[in-house]
Amino acid sequence: MKDFFCGEVNKSPRIAKLISDLYAELPVIEADRAEIVTRVYKETEGETIVERRGKVFQAICEELPIIIRPGELIVGSNAQAPRGCQVFPEYSFAWLEEEFDTVATRTADPFYISEDTKKRLHEAYKYWPGKTTSELATSLMAPETLMAIKHNIFTTGNYFYNGIGHFTVNYGKVLEIGFDGIRAEAQEALSKCKVSDADYAQRSTFLRAVITCCKAAVTYANRYAKLALSEAEKCQDPERKKELLVIASNCAHVPAKPARNFYEACQSFWFVQMLIQTESSGHSISPGRFDQYMYLYFKKDFEAGNITREFAQELLDCIWVKFNDLNKVRDAVSAEGFAGYSLFQNLIVGGQDKEGLDASNDLSSMCLEAAMHVRLPAPSLSIRVWNGSPQKLLMKAAEVTRTGIGLPAYYNDEVIIPALLSRGISLEDARNYSIIGCVEPQAPGKTDGWHDAAFFNMCRPLEMVFSNGYEDGDRVGLQTGELSEFQDFESFYNAYKKQMNYFIGLLVNSDNSIDVAHAERCPLPFQSSMVEDCIGRGLPMQRGGAVYNFTGPQGFGIANMTDALYAIKTLVFEQKKYTLQEFSEAMDDNFGQGIPKGKAASLTVEVAKQLSAAGRTVGEKEIASILREIQNQSVAPDKKAKYEQMLKDILSLPKYGNDNDEIDMFARDVAYTYTKPMEQYRNPRGGMYQAGLYPVSANVPLGAQTGATPDGRLAETPIADGVGPAAGRDTLGPTATVNSVAKLDHGIASNGTLFNQKFHPSALSGVEGLQKFVALIRAYFDQKGMHMQFNVVSREMLLDAQAHPEQYKNLVVRVAGYSALFTTLSKSLQDDIINRTTQGF
Amino acid sequence: MENYLQTSGRIFDIQKYSIHDGPGIRTIVFLKGCAFRCRWCCNPESQNYAVERMVRGGEEKLYGEDVTVEEVMREVMKDWPHFRRSGGGLTLSGGETLLQPDFASALLFAAHREGINTAIESTGFAKFSTIKNKILPYLDLFLMDIKHMDSAKHREFTTQPNDLVLENARKIAQTGQNLIIRVPVVPTFNATTAEIRAIAEFAASLPGVTRLHLLPYHRLGQDKYAGLNRPYLLEQILPPSTEQMEELKAEAEKTGLLVQIGG
């Protein structure tokens, strides 16, 4: 195995300053992009949509205000304010207008918005009703789909409200040939189009849009070159003046032309990364195998003595800070599901190369070093692990994990590569995989994977079995029969599977409707210019231009459904201790543990409506008293005692997560109820559906919309995160948990599985602690686990951080497929993280 | 060893992912019954051989279960992937492992047959011939407790004199067995530099012994005494401070041993 540098590198004092500037204030919403895009749309009505999108991007590059922040070495910001964001009315806008007055004060991801910005956005928004992707998507969905969404069986809100994102472009190509080179390719393809070709119109308009975008990106960089030059002229500090002149020279050369050195490669990379995120609001724009495509430039400079390791590290650290400068405002509900201002820019190091050899190099280690230097949530740093991974790189990764920032996440080549092969990806491309967003594997630069296409709450179809398909008077699911009709567990479980299949079909209808809406209304020529084979096919990604096309919706709730169905199986059908009706009643009464907040509120509304319909006046005072009355309603003592016994009986059953074969193999089967049906469906881009098993952080808000479940989970409490056991139910330590989780079929969940573990720092102390930690990961991966990530913080520290957030501004924790600053998370999500079992002593 | 899988014994717990008691990731099997009654013992339910009731978290549970080697090994080997990657394996603890010598022997034998590392945590309180014939042939690491050099004080705090312990320590060391000496550091009992130094001197005099573990007293077992309806005699004692432990470590290191705090 070839050797590489894996040591420490000094941190430049510049980095701390850049970070403190970045986090000085609440992030701000800006109106510039919305105004530009609105104006260009007005000017170009009647032209093809793909050319209009090209012109939109061109205008953004020409007009979006630019700024060089103090001390930066890598430049390019899409907002004036640090961590500021632009908005994207072409996808959706109504929610923001509705939330103008609450967005600064909400618990999850607040943003400041000025009165002036509100006015400007309000003006721009007048143009958009009826023209957005979200409105078109809604109009395309079947009524039963809309009903399922209304009842929160699943949510496709991510792509409904925003751009798609979730891809990795071919960064290496931009570094190698520049946008001038890509433009030349497009031009050549255009010159080969014959006017008599059947697809001439489509192909030529797309290629012209690509050419427009390539020129626009160069224009944008040139504006920075000029700005840097003029700032250099004014600059009194000779050191900074020098730096600004180098920045000017870099921006004049890249990304138009091939990068000539490592610094230019860094700058070129950054322009690509940030510009993609001005074209569309899609998140999870993932840099992928950064240590691979950047290495060439580093190696050449370093070996020639043109750059010191310290300066190369400083440039990496600067990029790491910049990742955190990008931001996006989401609607209040989505913000809960993606909490932590996260953009999920996943950057991965290590693993095999296209030929199956280990690909680790100096930059793999220096990327880990950068994460330790900046200690910020972005980028979502990942590491590929395989049987031949060098131990020293894993030990270094474990050291990063020990800092408690929740990074990196560990991925198993030995499962992911075969999983991708099974989806028709070539061996070379599969070996070259990288991760998108949270945990989704794909072939970089060639894939439009729609990797985060939905969250599907596996608990809700079970509720539909209990209610025979009805909820609040609406017919939502299938009528699978009255509870009294189920004579054995088999028929009950079949009813659950039928409900699952039905809703999975509706989820597909929802995603495909959104897919068509994006193709019709928001093709994106800039990102398409960097993804194979859009130029060759003459199609944007939104119409199937990429080599590989997928739709990957996520299911979650395996642990709860396993424990729940197992409880029904044993307590109702085997031991006959309780009937299904008794379970149903207990769940309705929340096992006698009080009426949860959400239900109390909706009951109050119901009663208030009835009263006012009956002609009574219902004011604030009356509503408060109704609510109090509802909250004070208590379950009769005999019932309460019965429920308590019931909870005890449920609790005493084996639970998923304790290395008990019987229930763990049952969990495997429960996961199949989601992953297997998914494989039969196709999307409009010619690709297939592939399931993922993870909730991002949606297990908290979607849990709040779910009643009590037969596993004893109380109403409106979080659902288990990822593929791990339900919080607190794994009691035999991490090896048992790991063994249980590895018993699921991860390979079939080729859109990714997510396994959170929380460790106390003492479990990783000393070299031996790190070695044992690495061994645990390797042992999980030997058993075909796919992904693993860790929070290394003490419970006491998290509780203290909740009490004194001001002292823990830098406390980064792992949320789901990403890390976030703990204090920026909502209270309920904080509680969820605290309550995940802490492993170690 | 014939029929070793059917050999049975009495245990009160199996603990996985032990990372402080021997190399790698280990599973500890706790054997029930002890000849000592150490006042600081954090597992008082380990002391009686009889199955007994203890209240934990408001619920009464039975402690003590008779199991065969086959049953224990089925549970232990579930973590084989972790042993393989970490070089870990099985640790027998107690109670005093050596009070069930045939069971302990069969467990260690079975573990070696599976190719995993073996260790015991013990005071060595048994006839040396038993240790030599039944334990050492299948043992990779002996973690041996030595609590005090003064036999009277030893007896006062543990109910047993230390003669047999010290004698066996020397004999075990002479066989070339990989041996680490462990000292529970308990204020009012042995937490002075002189007392620790004396133990360290003894340990250093044992042939082949290079390592000493100082295990600071902790109170995690205190509520178990209430659960067993037994008095806790160390009510007034606080765990040693980090500074105190560092001082004792420095003192012990003067003997030339490699000393660590904790396992």
**DSSP secondary structure string, A602-623?**
HHHHHHHHHHHHTT----HHHH
| Integer Cα distance of A801 and B139 in angstroms | 46
A740, closest residue in chain B (CA to CA): B78
Provide the pLDDT for residue B34: 97
Instruction: Tell me which residue in A771, A783, A839 faces B81 most closely, judged by beta carbons.
Output: A783
Which residues on A lie below 8 Å from B57 (Cβ)?
Answer: none
Say if residues A36 and A59 touch (Cβ distance below 8 Å).
Answer: yes
Element at A383 (helix H, strand E): strand A380-385
pLDDT digits (tens, 9 = 90+) for A100-142: 999 999 988 999 999 999 999 999 999 999 999 999 999 999 9
Q: How many CB pairs under 8 A join A and B?
A: 56
Residue B4: per-residue pLDDT: 96
Instruction: Dump pLDDT digits (tens) for A295-323.
Output: 999 999 999 999 999 999 999 999 999 99
| Cross-chain residue pair B19–A839, CB shorter than 8 Å | no
CATH of domain B4-261: 3.20.20.70
| Residues of chain B neighbouring A659 (CB-CB closer than 8 A) | 78
| Selected residue with higher pLDDT from A339 and A279 | A279
Rounded distance between C-alpha atoms, residue A331 and residue A92, angstroms: 10
The stretch A47-54 carries a mean pLDDT of: 98
Name the residue among A763, A771, A776 with its Cβ closest to that of B82.
Answer: A776
- A841 pLDDT higher than 50: no
Say yes or no for a CB contact (<8 Å) between B25 and A775: yes
The kind and range of the H/E element at A2 are: none
Q: Which of A56-60, A400-404, A801-805 has the highest mean pLDDT?
A: A56-60
Is A776–B25 a contact, with Cβ atoms under 8 angstroms apart? yes
Mean pLDDT of chain A: 94
Is residue A733 less than 8 Å (CB to CB) from chain B?
A: yes
* Cα A370 from Cα A404, distance rounded (Å): 15
Regarding beta strands B52-56 and A440-442, do their DSSP bridges make them parallel or antiparallel, or are they unpaired? unpaired
Q: Does A268 touch chain B (CB under 8 A)?
A: no
Give residue-wise pLDDT tens across range A590-626.
999 999 988 888 888 888 888 888 888 888 888 888 8
Q: CA A581 to CA B260: how far, in whole Å? A: 60
- Average pLDDT for consecutive 10-residue bins of chain B (263 residues)? 93 91 94 96 94 88 97 98 98 96 98 98 97 98 97 96 98 98 96 98 98 89 88 87 94 97 83
Where residue A422 falls among pLDDT bands split at 50, 70, 90? very high
d(CA A828, CA A815): 12
CB contact under 8 A, B15 and A733: yes
Q: Distance between CA atoms of B197 and B216, rounded to whole angstroms?
A: 15
Q: Give chain B as a DSSP string.
A: -TTGGG-EEEEEEEEEEE-SSSSSSEEEEEEP--S---TT-S-GGGT-SS-EEEEETTEEEEE-EEEEHHHHHHHHGGGHHHHHHHT-EEEEESS-GGGSHHHHHHHHHHHHHTT-EEEEEE---S-HHHIIIIIGGG-SEEEEE---S-HHHHHHHHSS-SHHHHHHHHHHHHTT--EEEEEEE-TTTT-SHHHHHHHHHHHHHSTT--EEEEEE---TTHHHHHHTT---TTTTPPPPPHHHHHHHHHHHHTTT-EEEE--
Work out whether the CA dihedral A45, A137, A84, A229 comes out positive or negative. Answer: negative
* Per-position DSSP letters for A275-290, written without gaps between them: HHHHH-----B--BSH
Identify the closest residue of chain A to B82 by CA–CA distance.
Answer: A779
A616 touching B, CB under 8 A?
no
Tell me which of B19, B75, B116 to substitute to probe the interface with A (most A C-beta atoms closer than 10 Å). Answer: B19
Distance separating alpha carbons of residues A141 and B245, to the nearest angstrom: 69
CA nearest neighbour of A787 among A446, A435, A363: A435
- Which residues of chain A does B78 touch, with a Cβ-Cβ cutoff of 8 Å? 659, 735-736, 739
Angle between helices A766-782 and A391-402 (to 10 degrees): 110
- Provide the token pair at A636: 């009769």
Q: How far A582 CA lies from chain B's nearest CA (Å)?
A: 26
Distances (CA, A) of A650 to A429, A655, A715, A729: 47, 9, 16, 12
Say which of A735, A763, A839 has its CB closest to residue B82: A735
If pLDDT is split at 50, 70 and 90, which confidence band does A1 have?
low
β-pairing, B8-18 with B26-31? Answer: antiparallel
Confidence of residue A194 (pLDDT cuts 50, 70, 90): very high
Residues of B in contact with A841 (CB under 8 A): 20
Could you say which DSSP state residue A526 is in? H
Question: A740 at the B interface (CB within 8 A)?
Answer: no
Q: In what order do the strands lie in the sheet with B65-68?
A: B65-68, B8-18, B26-31, B89-93, B117-122, B141-145, B179-185, B211-216, B258-261
Among partner residues B17, B84, B88, which is closest to A734 by beta-carbon distance? B17
Chain A (765-784) residues lying within 8 Å, Cβ to Cβ, of chain B: 768-769, 771-772, 775-776, 778-780, 782-783
Q: How far is CA A336 from the centre of its chain?
A: 12
Task: Tell me the nearest-neighbour CA distance from A750 into chain B, angstroms.
Answer: 24
Contact list in B for residue A763 (CB cut-off 8 A) is 19
pLDDT tens digits, residue range A636-682? 899 999 999 999 999 999 999 999 999 999 999 999 999 999 999 99
Percentage above 70 pLDDT, chain A = 98
Task: Report the interhelical angle of B193-205 vs B242-253 (nearest 10°).
Answer: 40
Rg over alpha carbons for chain B, rounded to the nearest Å, is 18
Helix (H) or strand (E) holding A693: strand A692-693
CB proximity under 8 Å: A 820-839 to B:
839
SS3 of A132-178: CHHHHHHHHCCHHHHHHHHCCCEECHHHHHCCCCCECCCHHHHHHHH
Are A779 and B19 inside 8 Å of each other by CB? no
Q: Give B86's contacts in chain A (Cβ within 8 Å).
A: 771-772, 775-776, 779
What residue ranges do the domains of chain B occupy?
4-261
Residues 653-672 on A with a CB inside 8 Å of B are 659
**For the residues A439-467, what does the mean pLDDT come to?**
97
Best of A772, A773, A841 to substitute, by most chain B Cβ atoms within 10 angstroms, is: A772
Angle between helices A295-303 and A362-374 (to 10 degrees): 100
- Tell me, what's the pLDDT at A635? 85
Contact (CB<8Å) B17/A839: yes
Nearest Cβ partner for B24 among A733, A736, A775: A775
- Cβ separation A779–B82 shorter than 8 A: yes
Report whether B118 contacts B140 (CB < 8 A). yes
Q: List, by residue number, the catalytic residues of A.
A: 438, 440
> Is the CB of A739 less than 8 angstroms away from the CB of B81?
yes
Q: With 70 as the cut, is the pLDDT of residue A95 above it?
A: yes
For chain B, say whether A734 makes contact (Cβ under 8 Å): yes
Compute the nearest-CA separation of B61 from chain A (Å).
13
- Considering CB atoms only, which of B17, B84, B88 is closest to A733? B17
Q: In degrees, to the nearest 5, what angle opens at C-alpha A406 toward C-alphas A700 and A802?
A: 55
The answer to whether the CB atoms of A779 and B17 lie below 8 A apart is: no
Residue A615: the pLDDT is 86
What per-residue confidence (pLDDT) applies to A816? 58
Burial of A48 (0-12, 13-18, 19+ CB in 10 A): middle
User: Where does residue A404 fall: left (phi above 0), alpha (psi -120 to 50 degrees), or beta otherwise?
Assistant: left
> How high is the pLDDT of residue B244?
94
- The 8-class DSSP code of residue A358 comes to B
Tokens 């312990």 belong to: B165
**Which are the contacts of A477, defined by CB distance < 8 A and separation ≥ 6?**
A148, A153, A461, A464, A467, A469, A470, A499, A502, A503
SS (HEC) of A482-498: CHHHCCCHHHHHHHHHH
∠ CA A22-A27-A30, nearest 5°, is 120
User: What is this model's ipTM?
Assistant: 0.94
**A376 residue type, one letter:** L
**Would you say residue A449 has pLDDT above 50?**
yes
